[in-house]
A and B are shown apart, each in its own frame.
Chain A
Amino acid sequence: MAEYSLTTPLKSEDVDRLRAGDKVNLNGYIYTARDAAHKRLVDLINEGTPLPMPLDGQVIYYVGPSPTPPGKVIGSAGPTTSGRMDRYAPILIERGLKGMIGKGERSAPVVEAMAKFGAVYFAATGGAAALISKRIIEATVIAYPELGAEAINRLKVENFPVIVAQDRYGGNIFKEGQKRYAR
């Protein structure tokens, strides 16, 4: 299992060399979106309307941060369950999305889209939200402020710690890891 430091936007080669279980420190800009924002993004794609954020090579972080206290960049910001975004993820991957960060396993349609178009799914530690917020050095709401915690933010991250949970070759650390420790 390798360790990488990657900067967004991700290139195809970045995605191609990652394998389930690799540790990655992410740098650069990533975008936040969860259920409500995903629904809107996919509705815009279906209508043919331009999106409020770029997709090509980008990484979406499934998070709804807590409000930002005075003097801080952002509130606590750990990952939410990715499975709820499975319905929307394939079309975003088809439009160029290269990475997703969340917690929990992805379903078959997402895995297929990841294999076909080249994308990777990273896991961050759920509930380590205060710790993770320290790796976010800039946060700007760029769309849907009315959604509150579900608004789309652009985050600048520094050494943001993730693990490759599912790679584009079908590698799956949940299945492999659980098999190893089951008795």
Chain B
Amino acid sequence: MAKAKRKARALKKVKAKRPRAKKRTAAPRAARAARKGKTRPKAKAPRRPKAARKAPAKAKPRPARAKVRTRVAAPPEPSIHPTRALVRHETAVVLAPPRGSVREISASKITETVARLSMEANYDLEADVRKALEKGAAEEESGIGREIFNQLLENADIACSEKLPICQDTGLAIIFVDLGQDAHVMGASLEDAINAGVRRGYGEGYLRKSVLGDPLRRVNTKDNTPAVIHTRIVPGDALKLWVVPKGGGSENMSKIVMLKPADGVEGVKSFVVESVRVASANPCPPIIVGIGIGGSFEQCAMLAKRSLLREVGSVHADPFYADLENALLGEINNLGIGPMGLGGRVTALAVHIETAPCHIASLPVAVNINCHAARHKKAEL
């Protein structure tokens, strides 16, 4: 056994050595020296196009995005083995970043923005939700139901003009972040900057602190942190933030299931409708039903959550899913749950579906319900 291992190791050594020996003769002297550590890579940074080289002097604080892109695409030194060139190229960038090639975003700016969005989201109902409530008020057949719609619209007016939360449950602070890969957060970690913003916004804005530090020992953190932060790294150098306060009542009615592929569209429909039926009055109808279909277990839940970022009532780009959204909205409203569950024709204001590719064996479906106080504010830094 040990003998076999030694033999394998020896073989590996030979394989590893062979290309290196060959390349040594081909590589120019400077590159060889750099590899051995005799010359600082800084001095011999790979050549970049003219535009990128000139950029720092002219545009110090914020270089044009196009220039950043040309830098990334800079060709490696032609005489070096491709894999080595990549390593060397990256090393050079890390040790001697060309000035101005990465956009700097200060943590304090992020904190300030999150604080502002936390307050605005809670006081000021977005136009799309208001429009959906007005439409619902016009369509509702139940007298009590119409009265509730009018109360909700009046409530939104009072909240906005008096800077009072639309709902006393100002939620978990759920923050979606799209961070450009050419942006650099300066001064604090992204998470610390966001949590500082939530702390400030929920404190200065007289918003309710609903976060417990531990799910079973249940002690309030008293500042509504930590926020729930979902970060994506995306192309570009911008930072996009969505602040989405999410109340406990509607979140508690969320569900996920791993259906069998054979269950198909009908299986998806009956799971969604049944979830809404069981939720009944609890999630504060009229609701917005966020649905994730496909992906893995955790991705499916994220799809449902992300679908709630869509403009209320916007239609899915794929006609197949647009039809499914429409069919589900009809079936859900036929449940008769109505505003506050007291009976009525408008139970849901909208159904949003998001999908992802999935495993041949799986058909995951997640339902994340939002109450009518669907709060979301967005900013780009």
Interface presence of B165 (CB below 8 A) = yes
Interface flag for B314 (CB, 8 Å) = no
On whether the beta carbons of B167 and A76 are closer than 8 Å, the reply is: yes
Q: Which of B8-16, B41-49, B68-76, B277-285 contacts A (4 or more CB under 8 A)?
A: B277-285
Binding site for B on A (CB under 8 A): 21, 36, 63-69, 72, 75-78, 80-81, 83, 103-105, 123, 125-131, 133-134, 147-149, 163, 165, 173-174, 176-183
State which of B154, B159, B210, B341 has its C-beta within 8 Å of the C-beta of A178.
B341
Residue of B nearest to A177 (CB): B343
Which of A72, A149, A182 lies in contact with B208, CB distance below 8 A?
A149
Q: Are the CB atoms of A131 and B341 closer together than 8 Å?
A: no
B155–A64 touching, CB < 8 Å? no
Could you list which residues of chain B lie within 8 angstroms of chain A, going by C-beta atoms?
141-142, 144, 148, 151-152, 154-155, 158-159, 162-170, 206-210, 218, 220, 222, 248-249, 252, 280-282, 284, 334-338, 340-345, 371-373
Residue of A nearest to B160 (CB): A130
| Assembled-state Cα–Cα distance A180/B340 (Å) | 15
Residue of A nearest to B344 (CB): A181
A178 surroundings in chain B (CB, below 8 A):
280, 335-338, 341, 343
Docked complex Cα distance between A83 and B155 (Å): 24
A selection of 13 A-B contacts at a CB cut-off of 8 Å is A21-B144, A69-B163, A104-B281, A104-B341, A105-B281, A126-B284, A127-B166, A133-B164, A163-B342, A165-B342, A177-B336, A181-B141, A182-B335
Nearest-CB residue, chain A, relative to B207: A66
Query: A173 to B158, alpha carbons, bound, how many Å?
Result: 28
Extra 5 A-B pairs, beta carbons < 8 Å, given A72-B164, A81-B252: A65-B168, A103-B284, A104-B280, A123-B342, A149-B208
Return chain B residues, CB-CB under 8 Å to A173.
342-343
Question: A76 to B122, alpha carbons, bound, how many Å?
Answer: 11
Q: How far is the CB of B14 from chain A (nearest CB, A)?
A: 69
> Can you list the 3 inter-chain pairs with the closest CB atoms, starting with the nearest?
A177-B343, A182-B336, A181-B336
Closest to B249 in A: A81
Min CB–CB distance A11 → chain B (angstroms): 26
Q: Which residue of B lies closest to A69 (CB)?
A: B206
Q: Are B159 and A76 in contact (CB under 8 A)?
A: yes
Are A181's CB and B343's CB within 8 A? Answer: yes
Which of A65, A126, A181 is in CB contact (< 8 Å) with B249?
Answer: A126
Nearest-neighbour CB distance to chain B for A88, whole angstroms, equals: 16
Is A181's CB under 8 angstroms from B345's CB?
A: yes
Selected from A64, A104, A147, the residue in CB contact (under 8 A) with B168 is A64
Q: How far is the CA of A125 from the CA of B285 in the complex (A)?
A: 10
Assembly CA distance A147 to B249 (angstroms): 19
Chain B residues, Cβ within 8 Å of A128: 148, 151-152, 154-155
Contact of A181 (CB < 8 Å), options: B151, B209, B220, B338: B338
Contacts of B248 in A (CB 8 A): 80-81
Q: Which residues of chain B are near A126, meaning CB under 8 Å?
A: 167, 249, 284, 340, 371
Across the interface, B206 reaches (CB within 8 A) one of A21, A66, A147, namely: A66
Q: In the complex the two chains form, what is the Cα distance from A145 to B336 in whole Å? A: 41
**Does B154 contact A131, Cβ atoms closer than 8 Å?**
yes
8 Å CB contact of A177 from B152, B159, B169, B338 = B338
Contacts of A123 in B (CB 8 A): 281, 340, 342
B339 to chain A, nearest CB (A): 8
A146 to chain B, nearest CB (A): 9
Q: Which of A147, A148, A179 contacts B336 (CB 8 A)?
A: A179
| Most chain A beta carbons < 10 A, residue from B162, B168, B337 | B168
Inter-chain contact A130/B336, CB cutoff 8 Å: no
In the assembled complex, the Cα of A181 lies from the Cα of B340 at a distance in Å of: 13
- How many Å lie between the Cα of A165 and that of B144 in the bound state? 12
What's the nearest-Cβ distance from chain A to residue B37, in Å?
Answer: 59
A131 nearest CB across to chain B (Å): 4
Q: Which residue of B lies closest to A173 (CB)?
A: B342
A157 to chain B, nearest CB (A): 15
Asked whether, in the complex, the Cβ of B168 is within 8 Å of the Cβ of A75, the reply is yes
Whole-angstrom distance between the Cβ of A94 and the nearest chain B Cβ: 25
A183 close to B168 (CB less than 8 A): no
* Distance between Cα atoms of A66 and B123 in the complex (Å): 12
In contact, B167 and A129 (Cβ under 8 angstroms): yes
Q: Which residue of B lies closest to A132 (CB)?
A: B155
Given the complex of chains A and B, what is the CA–CA distance between A136 and B90 in angstroms?
64
Chain A residues, Cβ within 8 Å of B141: 181
| Chain A contacts for B220, CB-based, 8 A | 147-148
Q: Which of B163, B166, B206, B344 contacts A129 (CB 8 A)?
A: B166
Known interface pairs A64-B169, A103-B281, A129-B167. Does A149 touch B210 (Cβ–Cβ under 8 Å)? Answer: yes
Q: Which residues of B contact A75 (CB under 8 A)?
A: 164-165, 168, 206, 208
Q: Which residues of B contact A181 (CB under 8 A)?
A: 141-142, 336, 338, 343-345
Q: How far is the CB of A23 from chain B (nearest CB, A)?
A: 9
Residues of A within 8 A of B148 (CB): 125, 128
Q: How far is the CB of B219 from chain A (nearest CB, A)?
A: 10
A64-B208, A163-B342, A179-B343 known; A127 vs B373 contact (CB < 8 Å): yes
